[in-house]
Amino acid sequence: MRLGYDGTNYSGWQRQPNAITVQQVIEEKLSILQNEKTTILGCGRTDAGVHATEFFAQFETKYPVDEATILFKVNNMLPKDIVIEKLFEVPDKLHARYSATSRSYIYTLTKNKTLLDRNYVYHYYNYNKLDAEAMNKAAAIVAQNSEFDPFCKTGTDVKTKTCIISESRLEIDHEQGRIEYYVSANRFLRGMVRLLTGMILNVGRGSVQLEEVQEVFKDQSRLKFDWSVPACGLRLSKVIYPTDLLDPLHLS
C-alpha cells in the first residue's frame, strides 16, 4: 500500500505497547475488514509527530483481494489523518523496508505564524537573524560525508552509522518567509534529519561554526550545541524501490 499521514496525534509509525501509532491504527482496521489478524510492515519508522506524504507498507492475506473495494472501505474506517492512496500486489521478494533504495525528507520552517498548515511547519521566531549563505554551506558539508554518528539519537542500537547522502540542500524563499531543507539517502538513523536540520539552523544563527561541523564529521564526535528541531516541520516525502520489484507507477 502507498499511504500518507499527519503524524501530529501519533507516537510515530511503529506499534508501541502504551501509545497510539499509525501502524496500530491501520492494522486494527485491516484486521476487522479482512476478518483475520493483519500485520503490516512499513518502509521506515518515523518519530512521534513526524508526517509522511509518501509511505509504503505491505501485508499478507489468505483471502482474494479486491483492491478497489478494500481501498474504499478501509479509508472510510480510518481517521481523517491517515489516507491509503493505492493498494497493489508485489513480488514475494519485495521487503517494504529493506528493499527501498532511497528515502527523502523535507523539513519546513516559516518566518510567520501560519494557520492552515500550522501542523506541518515550524514557526521559527529568529528567522530574520539567519545567515542563509552559512546554512547553504552547512547543508553542502552534509552531502560530502557518509558517517553520521554525531547526528544519531543516543542509545540507538544499529550496526553501522553509514548513510549515503544523495541530496542535501536548502530552498529559501525570503519573499514568502519560508525555508525548506531537502535531504535524501539510502537510509537514515534515528532522529538524524531533525539533528541535521538543527545543526544547519545553529550555523545560520551563529551558535555553531562551519569549522565545528567539519570537525565533528572528521572526529565523529557530538556538537557542543546540538539541537533536534521540533517534529512538526518534518515529513517523509519520497521512497524509491528497484523497478523490478515495484512498478514506478505506484511511486507517483
Amino acid making up residue 83: V
Q: Residue 24 and residue 11: Cα distance in Å, rounded?
A: 10
Residues with a known catalytic role: 47
Distances in whole angstroms, Cα of residue 67 to Cα of each of 72, 192, 225: 9, 36, 50
All 3 cell numbers of residue 115?
494557520
Q: Residue 214 and residue 200: Cα distance in Å, rounded?
A: 12
Report yes or no: 183 and 196 within 8 Å, Cβ to Cβ.
yes
Q: Is the dihedral of CA 111, 113, 114, 119 positive or negative?
A: positive
Q: Residue 102 and residue 247: Cα distance in Å, rounded?
A: 15
Phi, psi of 188, deg, nearest 5: -130, 145
Q: Residue 67 and residue 72: Cα distance in Å, rounded?
A: 9
Report yes or no: 166 and 185 within 8 Å, Cβ to Cβ.
yes
Please compute, for residue 64, the number of CA atoms within 13 A of its CA located in the half-sphere on the CB side: 1
User: In the chain, which ranges are continuous DSSP H helix?
Assistant: 22-34, 67-77, 132-143, 192-204, 210-219
